[in-house]
Structure 1
Amino acid sequence: MATLGLQILFESGRELLIKAQPERDPVKEKWMIGIMVSVTLVKFVLMLYCRRFQNEIVKAYAQDHFFDVITNSIGLGTAVLAIKFYWWIDPLGAILIALYTMGNWANTVMDNVWALIGKTAPPEYLAKLTYLIWNHHEEIRHIETVRAYTFGSQYFVEVHIVLPQDMTLPQSHNIGQTLEDKLEQLPEVERAFVHVDFDTIHPPEHKPKGTPSSSP
Protein backbone atom coordinates (compact mmCIF):
# COMPACT_ATOMS: atom_id res chain seq x y z
CA MET A 1 0.00 0.00 0.00
CA ALA A 2 2.91 2.36 0.68
CA THR A 3 4.32 1.62 -2.78
CA LEU A 4 0.92 2.27 -4.34
CA GLY A 5 0.63 5.55 -2.43
CA LEU A 6 4.09 6.67 -3.58
CA GLN A 7 3.27 5.82 -7.18
CA ILE A 8 0.07 7.89 -6.99
CA LEU A 9 2.01 10.77 -5.41
CA PHE A 10 4.64 10.77 -8.15
CA GLU A 11 2.10 10.50 -10.98
CA SER A 12 -0.17 13.21 -9.55
CA GLY A 13 2.81 15.50 -8.95
CA ARG A 14 3.97 14.96 -12.52
CA GLU A 15 0.52 15.88 -13.86
CA LEU A 16 0.50 19.07 -11.80
CA LEU A 17 3.98 20.06 -12.98
CA ILE A 18 3.35 19.50 -16.71
CA LYS A 19 -0.29 20.63 -16.44
CA ALA A 20 -1.51 17.46 -18.12
CA GLN A 21 -5.21 18.14 -18.45
CA PRO A 22 -7.25 15.00 -19.25
CA GLU A 23 -9.48 14.69 -22.29
CA ARG A 24 -13.14 15.36 -21.55
CA ASP A 25 -15.82 12.85 -22.57
CA PRO A 26 -19.27 13.63 -21.08
CA VAL A 27 -20.51 10.06 -21.61
CA LYS A 28 -17.53 8.49 -19.86
CA GLU A 29 -17.78 11.05 -17.07
CA LYS A 30 -21.42 10.09 -16.39
CA TRP A 31 -20.50 6.40 -16.35
CA MET A 32 -17.60 7.10 -13.98
CA ILE A 33 -19.79 9.05 -11.56
CA GLY A 34 -22.53 6.42 -11.64
CA ILE A 35 -20.14 3.53 -11.00
CA MET A 36 -18.31 5.30 -8.17
CA VAL A 37 -21.55 6.34 -6.46
CA SER A 38 -22.88 2.78 -6.69
CA VAL A 39 -19.69 1.20 -5.35
CA THR A 40 -19.45 3.71 -2.50
CA LEU A 41 -23.04 3.06 -1.44
CA VAL A 42 -22.49 -0.73 -1.51
CA LYS A 43 -19.30 -0.37 0.53
CA PHE A 44 -21.09 1.86 3.04
CA VAL A 45 -23.87 -0.70 3.53
CA LEU A 46 -21.32 -3.52 3.93
CA MET A 47 -19.41 -1.44 6.48
CA LEU A 48 -22.54 -0.94 8.59
CA TYR A 49 -23.38 -4.64 8.33
CA CYS A 50 -19.89 -5.84 9.35
CA ARG A 51 -19.78 -3.47 12.32
CA ARG A 52 -22.65 -5.40 13.90
CA PHE A 53 -20.35 -8.37 14.62
CA GLN A 54 -17.67 -8.81 17.30
CA ASN A 55 -15.52 -11.25 15.33
CA GLU A 56 -12.07 -9.78 14.65
CA ILE A 57 -12.02 -10.95 11.03
CA VAL A 58 -15.38 -9.33 10.31
CA LYS A 59 -14.17 -6.16 12.06
CA ALA A 60 -11.22 -6.13 9.66
CA TYR A 61 -13.68 -6.29 6.75
CA ALA A 62 -15.58 -3.35 8.25
CA GLN A 63 -12.34 -1.34 8.48
CA ASP A 64 -11.52 -2.18 4.86
CA HIS A 65 -14.98 -1.11 3.68
CA PHE A 66 -14.67 2.15 5.65
CA PHE A 67 -11.31 2.81 3.98
CA ASP A 68 -12.92 2.28 0.55
CA VAL A 69 -15.81 4.59 1.41
CA ILE A 70 -13.42 7.40 2.37
CA THR A 71 -11.13 7.03 -0.64
CA ASN A 72 -14.00 6.62 -3.10
CA SER A 73 -15.77 9.66 -1.67
CA ILE A 74 -12.65 11.82 -1.94
CA GLY A 75 -11.97 10.56 -5.45
CA LEU A 76 -15.55 11.14 -6.58
CA GLY A 77 -15.76 14.58 -5.02
CA THR A 78 -12.50 15.82 -6.50
CA ALA A 79 -13.33 14.34 -9.92
CA VAL A 80 -16.68 16.14 -10.03
CA LEU A 81 -15.09 19.39 -8.87
CA ALA A 82 -12.40 19.02 -11.53
CA ILE A 83 -15.06 18.56 -14.20
CA LYS A 84 -17.08 21.57 -13.04
CA PHE A 85 -14.28 23.96 -12.10
CA TYR A 86 -10.50 23.39 -12.33
CA TRP A 87 -8.66 20.38 -13.78
CA TRP A 88 -5.95 20.43 -11.07
CA ILE A 89 -8.45 19.47 -8.35
CA ASP A 90 -8.40 15.87 -9.60
CA PRO A 91 -4.62 15.22 -9.16
CA LEU A 92 -4.79 17.14 -5.87
CA GLY A 93 -7.49 14.72 -4.70
CA ALA A 94 -5.29 11.80 -5.77
CA ILE A 95 -2.49 13.19 -3.60
CA LEU A 96 -4.87 13.39 -0.62
CA ILE A 97 -5.97 9.79 -1.21
CA ALA A 98 -2.34 8.65 -1.42
CA LEU A 99 -1.41 10.39 1.84
CA TYR A 100 -4.48 8.97 3.59
CA THR A 101 -3.72 5.49 2.26
CA MET A 102 -0.12 5.55 3.43
CA GLY A 103 -1.00 6.93 6.86
CA ASN A 104 -3.91 4.54 7.40
CA TRP A 105 -1.99 1.42 6.47
CA ALA A 106 1.09 2.52 8.39
CA ASN A 107 -1.06 2.61 11.54
CA THR A 108 -2.48 -0.81 10.68
CA VAL A 109 1.00 -2.25 10.23
CA MET A 110 2.18 -0.86 13.57
CA ASP A 111 -0.86 -2.24 15.38
CA ASN A 112 -0.30 -5.71 13.91
CA VAL A 113 3.44 -5.65 14.58
CA TRP A 114 2.80 -5.03 18.29
CA ALA A 115 0.25 -7.87 18.28
CA LEU A 116 2.61 -10.34 16.57
CA ILE A 117 5.77 -9.74 18.61
CA GLY A 118 4.20 -10.90 21.89
CA LYS A 119 3.74 -7.60 23.67
CA THR A 120 2.89 -7.99 27.34
CA ALA A 121 -0.57 -7.10 28.59
CA PRO A 122 -1.03 -3.79 30.45
CA PRO A 123 -0.63 -3.83 34.27
CA GLU A 124 -4.34 -3.32 34.90
CA TYR A 125 -5.19 -6.45 32.90
CA LEU A 126 -2.56 -8.48 34.76
CA ALA A 127 -4.08 -7.21 38.01
CA LYS A 128 -7.50 -8.40 36.80
CA LEU A 129 -6.08 -11.85 36.07
CA THR A 130 -4.34 -11.99 39.45
CA TYR A 131 -7.57 -11.14 41.27
CA LEU A 132 -9.46 -13.82 39.36
CA ILE A 133 -6.76 -16.42 40.08
CA TRP A 134 -6.53 -15.62 43.79
CA ASN A 135 -10.29 -15.99 44.23
CA HIS A 136 -10.53 -19.14 42.14
CA HIS A 137 -10.04 -21.61 44.99
CA GLU A 138 -9.46 -21.34 48.72
CA GLU A 139 -6.56 -23.85 48.59
CA ILE A 140 -4.36 -21.57 46.47
CA ARG A 141 -1.53 -20.55 48.80
CA HIS A 142 0.57 -18.37 46.53
CA ILE A 143 0.56 -16.95 43.01
CA GLU A 144 4.10 -17.25 41.73
CA THR A 145 3.75 -15.96 38.16
CA VAL A 146 1.11 -14.28 36.01
CA ARG A 147 2.04 -13.51 32.41
CA ALA A 148 -0.09 -12.44 29.47
CA TYR A 149 1.30 -11.58 26.05
CA THR A 150 -0.29 -10.87 22.71
CA PHE A 151 -1.03 -13.63 20.24
CA GLY A 152 -2.70 -11.91 17.31
CA SER A 153 -5.60 -9.91 18.69
CA GLN A 154 -5.82 -11.92 21.94
CA TYR A 155 -3.57 -13.08 24.79
CA PHE A 156 -1.70 -16.19 25.79
CA VAL A 157 -1.75 -16.46 29.59
CA GLU A 158 0.79 -18.31 31.75
CA VAL A 159 0.09 -18.84 35.46
CA HIS A 160 2.09 -20.56 38.21
CA ILE A 161 0.24 -21.24 41.45
CA VAL A 162 1.25 -22.95 44.71
CA LEU A 163 -1.05 -25.51 46.36
CA PRO A 164 -0.65 -27.43 49.66
CA GLN A 165 2.11 -30.03 49.52
CA ASP A 166 -0.11 -32.81 50.92
CA MET A 167 -2.83 -32.31 48.30
CA THR A 168 -3.53 -35.32 46.09
CA LEU A 169 -2.74 -35.26 42.38
CA PRO A 170 -6.43 -35.43 41.30
CA GLN A 171 -7.30 -32.48 43.54
CA SER A 172 -4.43 -30.29 42.31
CA HIS A 173 -5.14 -31.27 38.70
CA ASN A 174 -8.80 -30.32 39.03
CA ILE A 175 -7.93 -26.92 40.51
CA GLY A 176 -5.43 -26.21 37.73
CA GLN A 177 -7.76 -27.43 34.99
CA THR A 178 -10.78 -25.47 36.20
CA LEU A 179 -8.59 -22.36 36.48
CA GLU A 180 -7.46 -22.82 32.86
CA ASP A 181 -11.08 -23.17 31.78
CA LYS A 182 -12.08 -20.04 33.70
CA LEU A 183 -9.26 -17.98 32.18
CA GLU A 184 -10.06 -19.14 28.66
CA GLN A 185 -13.66 -17.98 29.11
CA LEU A 186 -12.38 -14.40 29.14
CA PRO A 187 -12.97 -12.86 25.69
CA GLU A 188 -9.40 -11.50 25.51
CA VAL A 189 -7.73 -14.87 26.22
CA GLU A 190 -6.89 -17.24 23.36
CA ARG A 191 -5.18 -19.90 25.48
CA ALA A 192 -4.26 -20.29 29.16
CA PHE A 193 -1.56 -22.48 30.73
CA VAL A 194 -1.61 -23.19 34.47
CA HIS A 195 1.38 -24.77 36.23
CA VAL A 196 0.94 -26.12 39.74
CA ASP A 197 3.76 -26.10 42.34
CA PHE A 198 3.91 -27.25 45.97
CA ASP A 199 6.43 -24.66 47.24
CA THR A 200 7.97 -21.32 46.33
CA ILE A 201 11.61 -22.36 46.84
CA HIS A 202 12.79 -23.89 43.57
CA PRO A 203 14.76 -22.87 40.48
CA PRO A 204 12.91 -21.48 37.46
CA GLU A 205 11.15 -24.07 35.32
CA HIS A 206 12.51 -22.57 32.09
CA LYS A 207 16.15 -21.52 31.96
CA PRO A 208 17.38 -19.01 29.38
CA LYS A 209 19.21 -20.58 26.45
CA GLY A 210 22.92 -20.87 27.09
CA THR A 211 22.58 -21.22 30.87
CA PRO A 212 24.76 -24.14 32.04
CA SER A 213 23.00 -26.98 33.80
CA SER A 214 23.59 -27.46 37.54
CA SER A 215 23.51 -31.25 37.22
CA PRO A 216 26.84 -33.11 36.95
Structure 2
Amino acid sequence: MLESITDMVLFAAQVYASIRSGSLAIVASTLDSLLDLLSGFILWFTAFLMSTSNSYQYPIGKRRMQPVGILVFASVVATLGLQIILESVRKMVSDEDEFNLTIEQERLVVGIMLGVTLVKLLVFYYRAFTYEIVKAYARDHFFNVMKNIVGLVAMLLAKYIDDRMDPVGAIILALYTIRTWSMTALENVNSLVGRSAGPEYLQKLTYLCWNHHKAIKNIDTVRAYSFGSHHFVEVDIVLPENMALQEAHDIGESLQEKLELLPDIERAFVHLDYEFSHKPEHEQAHAL
Protein backbone atom coordinates (compact mmCIF):
# COMPACT_ATOMS: atom_id res chain seq x y z
CA MET A 1 0.00 0.00 0.00
CA LEU A 2 2.82 2.40 0.91
CA GLU A 3 4.55 1.70 -2.41
CA SER A 4 1.36 2.46 -4.38
CA ILE A 5 0.77 5.78 -2.60
CA THR A 6 4.40 6.76 -3.05
CA ASP A 7 4.24 5.83 -6.74
CA MET A 8 1.18 8.05 -7.28
CA VAL A 9 2.73 11.02 -5.46
CA LEU A 10 5.97 10.72 -7.42
CA PHE A 11 4.04 10.35 -10.67
CA ALA A 12 2.08 13.54 -9.94
CA ALA A 13 5.36 15.37 -9.35
CA GLN A 14 6.75 14.07 -12.66
CA VAL A 15 3.59 15.20 -14.50
CA TYR A 16 4.07 18.70 -13.09
CA ALA A 17 7.74 18.68 -14.15
CA SER A 18 6.74 17.53 -17.66
CA ILE A 19 4.23 20.37 -18.02
CA ARG A 20 6.61 23.04 -16.74
CA SER A 21 9.58 21.89 -18.82
CA GLY A 22 7.94 20.88 -22.09
CA SER A 23 10.69 18.28 -22.44
CA LEU A 24 9.82 15.22 -24.50
CA ALA A 25 12.49 13.22 -22.66
CA ILE A 26 10.89 13.98 -19.30
CA VAL A 27 7.46 13.23 -20.78
CA ALA A 28 8.77 9.84 -21.92
CA SER A 29 10.15 9.17 -18.43
CA THR A 30 6.84 10.20 -16.87
CA LEU A 31 4.92 8.00 -19.30
CA ASP A 32 7.01 5.04 -18.19
CA SER A 33 6.04 5.72 -14.56
CA LEU A 34 2.38 5.86 -15.61
CA LEU A 35 2.76 2.52 -17.37
CA ASP A 36 4.18 1.01 -14.19
CA LEU A 37 1.13 2.17 -12.25
CA LEU A 38 -1.28 0.87 -14.89
CA SER A 39 0.49 -2.48 -15.19
CA GLY A 40 0.26 -2.96 -11.42
CA PHE A 41 -3.47 -2.24 -11.58
CA ILE A 42 -3.94 -4.68 -14.47
CA LEU A 43 -2.13 -7.43 -12.57
CA TRP A 44 -4.24 -6.78 -9.47
CA PHE A 45 -7.50 -6.63 -11.43
CA THR A 46 -6.86 -9.79 -13.44
CA ALA A 47 -5.77 -11.61 -10.27
CA PHE A 48 -9.09 -10.54 -8.68
CA LEU A 49 -11.05 -11.80 -11.68
CA MET A 50 -9.22 -15.14 -11.62
CA SER A 51 -10.05 -15.57 -7.94
CA THR A 52 -13.78 -15.16 -8.65
CA SER A 53 -14.10 -17.75 -11.40
CA ASN A 54 -17.40 -19.49 -12.18
CA SER A 55 -16.99 -23.18 -12.98
CA TYR A 56 -20.15 -23.12 -15.12
CA GLN A 57 -19.24 -20.11 -17.26
CA TYR A 58 -15.48 -20.83 -17.22
CA PRO A 59 -15.08 -24.60 -16.87
CA ILE A 60 -11.29 -24.46 -17.32
CA GLY A 61 -10.80 -21.37 -15.16
CA LYS A 62 -9.52 -17.88 -15.93
CA ARG A 63 -5.78 -18.50 -15.84
CA ARG A 64 -5.35 -17.01 -19.31
CA MET A 65 -6.99 -13.72 -18.34
CA GLN A 66 -3.79 -12.23 -16.91
CA PRO A 67 -1.55 -12.84 -19.95
CA VAL A 68 -4.36 -11.58 -22.23
CA GLY A 69 -4.55 -8.39 -20.16
CA ILE A 70 -0.78 -7.97 -20.38
CA LEU A 71 -0.87 -8.43 -24.17
CA VAL A 72 -3.56 -5.76 -24.55
CA PHE A 73 -1.59 -3.42 -22.30
CA ALA A 74 1.64 -4.09 -24.24
CA SER A 75 -0.17 -3.05 -27.43
CA VAL A 76 -1.15 0.25 -25.80
CA VAL A 77 2.45 0.76 -24.64
CA ALA A 78 3.77 0.19 -28.15
CA THR A 79 1.27 2.70 -29.55
CA LEU A 80 2.19 5.38 -27.01
CA GLY A 81 5.90 4.75 -27.50
CA LEU A 82 5.53 5.05 -31.26
CA GLN A 83 3.64 8.33 -30.81
CA ILE A 84 6.49 9.74 -28.71
CA ILE A 85 9.03 8.65 -31.33
CA LEU A 86 7.04 10.31 -34.14
CA GLU A 87 6.68 13.55 -32.15
CA SER A 88 10.39 13.49 -31.32
CA VAL A 89 11.33 13.05 -34.97
CA ARG A 90 9.00 15.90 -35.92
CA LYS A 91 10.69 18.23 -33.42
CA MET A 92 14.15 17.17 -34.55
CA VAL A 93 13.46 18.27 -38.12
CA SER A 94 11.64 21.47 -37.12
CA ASP A 95 13.05 24.74 -35.81
CA GLU A 96 10.88 24.88 -32.69
CA ASP A 97 12.56 26.10 -29.53
CA GLU A 98 10.86 24.43 -26.60
CA PHE A 99 13.22 25.51 -23.86
CA ASN A 100 12.46 29.02 -22.78
CA LEU A 101 12.61 28.22 -19.08
CA THR A 102 13.64 30.83 -16.60
CA ILE A 103 16.37 29.98 -14.11
CA GLU A 104 13.76 29.55 -11.38
CA GLN A 105 11.64 27.21 -13.53
CA GLU A 106 14.68 25.20 -14.51
CA ARG A 107 15.73 24.81 -10.88
CA LEU A 108 12.20 23.74 -9.97
CA VAL A 109 12.08 21.07 -12.69
CA VAL A 110 15.56 19.79 -11.86
CA GLY A 111 14.70 19.75 -8.16
CA ILE A 112 11.52 17.75 -8.77
CA MET A 113 13.25 15.16 -10.95
CA LEU A 114 16.17 14.80 -8.56
CA GLY A 115 13.76 14.55 -5.64
CA VAL A 116 11.75 11.81 -7.37
CA THR A 117 14.97 9.97 -8.15
CA LEU A 118 16.26 10.24 -4.59
CA VAL A 119 12.98 9.08 -3.04
CA LYS A 120 12.84 6.02 -5.29
CA LEU A 121 16.40 5.13 -4.37
CA LEU A 122 15.79 5.53 -0.64
CA VAL A 123 12.35 3.96 -0.37
CA PHE A 124 12.48 1.09 -2.84
CA TYR A 125 16.12 0.17 -3.16
CA TYR A 126 16.69 0.35 0.59
CA ARG A 127 13.69 -1.91 1.23
CA ALA A 128 15.18 -4.46 -1.17
CA PHE A 129 17.87 -5.20 1.38
CA THR A 130 15.29 -5.52 4.15
CA TYR A 131 12.51 -7.61 2.60
CA GLU A 132 13.25 -10.43 0.20
CA ILE A 133 9.80 -10.23 -1.37
CA VAL A 134 10.29 -6.71 -2.79
CA LYS A 135 13.73 -7.20 -4.36
CA ALA A 136 12.36 -7.60 -7.87
CA TYR A 137 10.06 -4.61 -7.32
CA ALA A 138 13.03 -2.51 -6.19
CA ARG A 139 15.09 -3.53 -9.22
CA ASP A 140 12.29 -2.29 -11.46
CA HIS A 141 12.32 1.06 -9.69
CA PHE A 142 16.08 1.22 -9.99
CA PHE A 143 15.65 1.12 -13.76
CA ASN A 144 13.03 3.87 -13.40
CA VAL A 145 15.66 5.92 -11.58
CA MET A 146 18.04 5.48 -14.51
CA LYS A 147 15.32 6.54 -16.95
CA ASN A 148 14.57 9.66 -14.88
CA ILE A 149 18.26 10.57 -14.98
CA VAL A 150 18.40 10.05 -18.76
CA GLY A 151 15.34 12.29 -19.22
CA LEU A 152 16.78 15.04 -16.99
CA VAL A 153 20.20 14.94 -18.66
CA ALA A 154 18.59 15.05 -22.13
CA MET A 155 16.60 18.15 -21.15
CA LEU A 156 19.67 19.95 -19.79
CA LEU A 157 21.75 19.04 -22.84
CA ALA A 158 18.98 20.37 -25.08
CA LYS A 159 18.88 23.67 -23.19
CA TYR A 160 22.61 24.33 -23.05
CA ILE A 161 24.13 22.44 -25.99
CA ASP A 162 21.73 21.30 -28.75
CA ASP A 163 17.93 21.34 -28.93
CA ARG A 164 17.96 17.94 -30.62
CA MET A 165 19.28 16.23 -27.48
CA ASP A 166 15.82 16.28 -25.89
CA PRO A 167 13.98 14.38 -28.66
CA VAL A 168 16.95 12.03 -28.95
CA GLY A 169 16.61 11.24 -25.24
CA ALA A 170 12.87 10.75 -25.67
CA ILE A 171 13.44 8.34 -28.56
CA ILE A 172 15.94 6.32 -26.49
CA LEU A 173 13.49 6.04 -23.58
CA ALA A 174 10.57 5.19 -25.86
CA LEU A 175 12.56 2.48 -27.63
CA TYR A 176 13.65 1.01 -24.30
CA THR A 177 10.04 0.94 -23.07
CA ILE A 178 8.80 -0.67 -26.29
CA ARG A 179 11.57 -3.28 -26.15
CA THR A 180 10.87 -4.13 -22.50
CA TRP A 181 7.15 -4.59 -23.03
CA SER A 182 7.69 -6.47 -26.30
CA MET A 183 9.75 -9.05 -24.40
CA THR A 184 7.00 -9.24 -21.75
CA ALA A 185 4.38 -9.71 -24.47
CA LEU A 186 6.42 -12.48 -26.08
CA GLU A 187 6.67 -14.34 -22.76
CA ASN A 188 2.90 -14.16 -22.34
CA VAL A 189 2.28 -15.28 -25.93
CA ASN A 190 4.27 -18.42 -25.13
CA SER A 191 2.09 -19.03 -22.09
CA LEU A 192 -1.08 -18.73 -24.18
CA VAL A 193 -0.13 -21.01 -27.07
CA GLY A 194 0.52 -24.05 -24.86
CA ARG A 195 4.30 -24.18 -24.98
CA SER A 196 5.84 -27.33 -23.53
CA ALA A 197 7.58 -27.22 -20.17
CA GLY A 198 11.34 -27.73 -20.07
CA PRO A 199 13.07 -31.16 -19.92
CA GLU A 200 13.98 -30.81 -16.24
CA TYR A 201 10.37 -30.14 -15.28
CA LEU A 202 9.16 -33.12 -17.33
CA GLN A 203 11.79 -35.32 -15.66
CA LYS A 204 10.51 -34.21 -12.28
CA LEU A 205 6.95 -35.15 -13.21
CA THR A 206 8.08 -38.50 -14.64
CA TYR A 207 9.96 -39.32 -11.42
CA LEU A 208 6.91 -38.42 -9.34
CA CYS A 209 4.64 -40.62 -11.47
CA TRP A 210 7.03 -43.57 -11.52
CA ASN A 211 7.30 -43.60 -7.73
CA HIS A 212 3.63 -43.03 -7.12
CA HIS A 213 2.64 -46.71 -6.84
CA LYS A 214 4.46 -50.01 -7.13
CA ALA A 215 1.81 -51.36 -9.54
CA ILE A 216 2.81 -48.89 -12.26
CA LYS A 217 4.69 -50.91 -14.89
CA ASN A 218 5.60 -48.12 -17.28
CA ILE A 219 5.18 -44.42 -18.01
CA ASP A 220 3.90 -44.07 -21.53
CA THR A 221 3.60 -40.31 -21.91
CA VAL A 222 4.22 -37.22 -19.78
CA ARG A 223 3.21 -33.84 -21.15
CA ALA A 224 3.16 -30.45 -19.47
CA TYR A 225 2.24 -27.29 -21.36
CA SER A 226 1.56 -23.72 -20.38
CA PHE A 227 -1.94 -22.58 -19.57
CA GLY A 228 -1.65 -18.92 -18.64
CA SER A 229 0.60 -18.68 -15.59
CA HIS A 230 0.19 -22.40 -14.78
CA HIS A 231 0.49 -25.75 -16.57
CA PHE A 232 -1.78 -28.48 -17.78
CA VAL A 233 -0.34 -31.97 -17.34
CA GLU A 234 -1.20 -35.16 -19.25
CA VAL A 235 0.14 -38.51 -18.06
CA ASP A 236 -0.32 -42.01 -19.50
CA ILE A 237 0.58 -44.80 -17.08
CA VAL A 238 0.64 -48.56 -17.72
CA LEU A 239 -0.97 -50.90 -15.17
CA PRO A 240 -1.36 -54.70 -15.16
CA GLU A 241 -4.06 -55.72 -17.65
CA ASN A 242 -5.81 -57.99 -15.11
CA MET A 243 -6.01 -55.34 -12.38
CA ALA A 244 -9.48 -54.65 -10.97
CA LEU A 245 -11.14 -51.48 -12.23
CA GLN A 246 -11.60 -50.09 -8.73
CA GLU A 247 -7.91 -50.46 -7.85
CA ALA A 248 -6.77 -48.99 -11.17
CA HIS A 249 -9.16 -46.07 -10.73
CA ASP A 250 -7.87 -45.33 -7.23
CA ILE A 251 -4.26 -45.32 -8.44
CA GLY A 252 -5.04 -42.93 -11.29
CA GLU A 253 -7.16 -40.61 -9.18
CA SER A 254 -4.61 -40.38 -6.36
CA LEU A 255 -1.88 -39.60 -8.92
CA GLN A 256 -4.04 -36.85 -10.40
CA GLU A 257 -4.58 -35.32 -6.96
CA LYS A 258 -0.85 -35.52 -6.18
CA LEU A 259 0.03 -33.72 -9.41
CA GLU A 260 -2.57 -31.00 -8.86
CA LEU A 261 -1.09 -30.30 -5.43
CA LEU A 262 2.02 -28.92 -7.14
CA PRO A 263 1.83 -25.11 -7.03
CA ASP A 264 2.27 -24.48 -10.77
CA ILE A 265 -0.18 -27.09 -12.09
CA GLU A 266 -3.73 -26.02 -12.90
CA ARG A 267 -5.12 -29.40 -14.00
CA ALA A 268 -3.74 -32.91 -14.39
CA PHE A 269 -5.19 -35.67 -16.57
CA VAL A 270 -4.17 -39.27 -15.94
CA HIS A 271 -4.89 -41.91 -18.58
CA LEU A 272 -4.74 -45.58 -17.62
CA ASP A 273 -3.59 -48.27 -20.06
CA TYR A 274 -2.38 -51.86 -20.03
CA GLU A 275 0.20 -51.58 -22.85
CA PHE A 276 2.34 -48.90 -24.49
CA SER A 277 2.88 -50.09 -28.06
CA HIS A 278 0.13 -47.88 -29.52
CA LYS A 279 0.52 -44.36 -30.87
CA PRO A 280 0.55 -41.50 -28.35
CA GLU A 281 -2.90 -40.52 -27.14
CA HIS A 282 -4.55 -37.46 -28.72
CA GLU A 283 -1.92 -37.22 -31.43
CA GLN A 284 -2.87 -34.58 -33.97
CA ALA A 285 -3.89 -35.98 -37.31
CA HIS A 286 -2.22 -33.29 -39.37
CA ALA A 287 0.98 -31.42 -38.75
CA LEU A 288 0.92 -27.71 -39.49
Normalised by the length of structure 2, the TM-score is 0.59
What aligned pairs does 1:1-216 form with structure 2 within 5 A after superposition?
Answer: 1-22=77-98, 23-43=100-120, 45-46=123-124, 52-53=132-133, 65=141, 68-200=144-276, 206=282
Higher helix share: 2
> Does the CA-based 8 Å contact 2:219-2:236 persist in structure 1?
yes
| Separation in 2, partners of 1:124, 1:117 | 20
Identity %, equivalent residues: 49
Bigger relative contact order, structure 1 or 2 (CA pairs below 8 A, ≥6 apart) = 2
Letter in 2 for 1:194: V
Change (3 A) 1:37 1:154: farther
Change (3 A) 1:166 1:53: farther
Larger Rg: 1
Query: For the aligned residues, what is the CA RMSD?
Result: 3.3
Task: Give the C-alpha shift of residue 10 in structure 1.
Answer: 1.6
| Separation in 1, partners of 2:127, 2:271 | 42
Q: Count residues with an aligned counterpart.
A: 206
Stretches of structure 1 lacking an aligned partner (at least 5 in a row): 211-216
| Separation in 1, partners of 2:127, 2:193 | 31
1:59-104 Cα distance to aligned partner (Å, 9 max, x none) = 6x66864554443232123223434544332221111111111211
Letter in 2 for 1:20: E
1:152-194 Cα distance to aligned partner (Å, 9 max, x none) = 2332111111222343444333322332233234444333222
